[in-house]
Each structure stands twice: as C-alpha cells, then as structure tokens.
Amino acid sequence: MAKPGRPGASRGKKKGPTKGSGGQKRRSLEGKGPTPKAEDRAWHPAGKRKAAQDRYVAAGGKGRPGAKPQGSNPNRSGRGSSDDTETVTGRNSVLEALRARIPATALYVAQRVEMDDRVKEMLSIATNREIAILEVTRPELDRMAGFDGVHQGVALKVPPYEYAHPQDLLEQVLDTGATPLLIALDGVTDPRNLGAIIRSTAAFGGQGIILPQRRSASVNSAAWKTSAGAAARIPVAVAPNLTSTLKEYKKQGVFVLGLDGGGDVSLPKLELADRPVVIVVGSEGKGLSRLVTETCDQIVSIPISAATESLNAGIAASVALYQVATARAAQD
C-alpha cells in the first residue's frame, strides 16, 4: 500500500552526474597555450604603446613614436632644460615659424579644428616639408600648451631657440647699412614680456634683442606665443655680461639709452633718436641695475600720469620704440 504523500511536497529529480565534477577539473588543468606578449595585449601599457607607435608610423612620423609630447612651462625662465624641444602654440606663431623654415619635427592639429586660411597654409607647408602632421584631442593640446596657454587648435614642435652673439648681431645690422635700433633687457624675467617686446621690435623697425645670460627670460613657448611669430624674424642675442656688452657697443659708436621713471631726459625731447642706439629696459619693480645705469649715455623717462606708478616693461619698450621710429621717419 502506497504511503500517502504530504500535500504540496514533490519529489525532485536531481539532474546531472551523481558523482564527480563532470570533467571540469580535468579541463581546467589543460594548457591554454603560451601567454601572449605584453605588446600583443591591447589592455596592457606595452600594447597601448605599440598601438600608438603604429598610428604614429602610419602618419609618417619620425623620432620617438608613442612618446608623450613634452609641454613647456610658460613661467620657466632658465635656458637649461632636460627637454630638447619647445612647443610653439597659436595660429600666428605656428604659421610664422613654418614660414621661417624653422626645422620643426611635428605639427599637432586638434580634432575637428576650425579650418581657416592660416590652418590650410600650415598644413600645406608641413606637407611640402614632410613634417609629421598628427591629429590629437583638445585636452592633449591643452596639456602641451601648459598652464594658461592658448593654442587655438594647433601646436608645433621645434628645437630650442638658437641665440646669437651680441657682437654678431651688431655687425649684421651694420652690414645691411641700417641705423642700429636694438633693445636690451635688464632683469626682465617674464617670458610674456619678452615676447611682447620682440613683437614691438619687429613692428617699429628694431633689429634685435639682447638678453643677459643670468636672471632673464628666455625664448620659450610663452615668448613664442606672445610674439605672434615675430620671434622667427627678430634675432635674440645672449650677453654673458650685459654691462660689458653695452660698453663694447659704446666703443663702436652706439648710444646706450636707459628707460627709467626718474630720467634726466623726457622721451619726446630725445635728440639721439636718429643715431645708432640700444634702449635698455629694466624690470617693472627694480628698474635698471646700478652698473647698467652708470653705463648709459642718457636716462630717458616716459611722461605718464601721476596716478600711475610705472609702466609694464613691454609697454615701456613699445612706447620708446614708437618714439624713435617716429622721429626717424620724420627725418627721412
């Protein structure tokens, strides 16, 4: 007689093997083949580097494919650096550098960049000169431009700036038959001021810039950007000793004019504008150093409102250059 079952109870039937693992352990012990190389694994850093290298080679690049571009600190004022390249950013600066045939190594263009005549000319020059053209993201360009840098969608890798010698700079100007109009900077450490002065020098007919070897800004990415490409046309010389260089210039008939708020000659009354001159601009805070002041033939002041304490070094140089250029043009 069958035993009465409990209401709702069911006799489940167990599926699968009643003994053993069903071969799972045996299959787990079998070999899966050799481990792929690190560069063959897409998720591995080595695999990502290889992929970047392949893209770089496909774009016609040279050098170190896949290496991260080294951005420049716009606040750096020293000339020694572990990086052997500079990054020029901004459409005007990049275009002028390409026009000047500076030996660039790579042109970086942002994705979906707005194409204008300048960008088209950049691409044309880079293609003709076989410069690698790389398309990168805007965040990557932001990193390359550095803090507070404005790249406008393009950047150019160039070698470090080649400085001239002060004596070679003067001889080059004299060989052209032009009347020397040079700018010397004394204690100006902001590269943006340097870039603005280079731009003003090019605009008002100046022939070059002289920097002291120590405690001075250098022609880096920030100066390139502020100069709007004028750094490709105006030579910059480095003087081991600025005072000695100015004295040598005086021996060769060049008048040294220092800009200072307490000068003995007002800029509109300057009578040496038509002579060979080098205008010395000091820092906004300290002004001209004592030795440089003693070397100057005249200390020239720019008339400003009493409510304004002083002028920025770049603005002061621009005003002085404009005054000299105006006086020379009036005598021609």
Residue 198 lies in a domain: yes
65: exposed, middle or buried (Cβ count in 10 Å: 0-12, 13-18, 19+): middle
Of 131, 158, 185, the residue that ends a domain is 158
3-class DSSP assignment, residue 38: helix
Residue 179 tokens, joined: 């009347």
**Residue 69 DSSP one-character state:** P
Distances (CA, A) of 243 to 133, 139, 207, 237: 45, 45, 20, 14
Q: Are residues 207 and 327 in the same domain?
A: yes
Number of structural domains in the chain: 2
Q: What is the C-alpha to C-alpha distance for residues 76 and 159, in angstroms, rounded to an integer?
A: 16
In a domain, 224, yes or no: yes
Domain that holds residue 199: 166-331
- Cα separation of 129 and 158, whole Å? 14
pLDDT digits (tens, 9 = 90+) for 146-205: 766 677 888 888 888 889 999 999 999 999 999 999 999 998 888 889 999 999 999 999
Asked if the structure places residue 60 within a domain, the reply is: no
Q: Note whether residue 25 is domain-resident.
A: no
* Per-residue pLDDT tens over the stretch 201-218: 999 999 999 999 888 888
Query: In the listed set 114, 140, 158, which residue is the last one of a domain according to the structure?
Result: 158
Last residue of a domain, one of 119, 140, 158: 158
Same domain for 182 and 97? no
Is 66 part of a structural domain of the chain? no
Give the global pTM.
Answer: 0.65
Note the pLDDT tens digit of each residue in 121-143: 989 988 998 888 888 888 888 88
Same domain, 240 and 258: yes
Here the CATH number for the domain that contains residue 113 is 3.30.1330.30
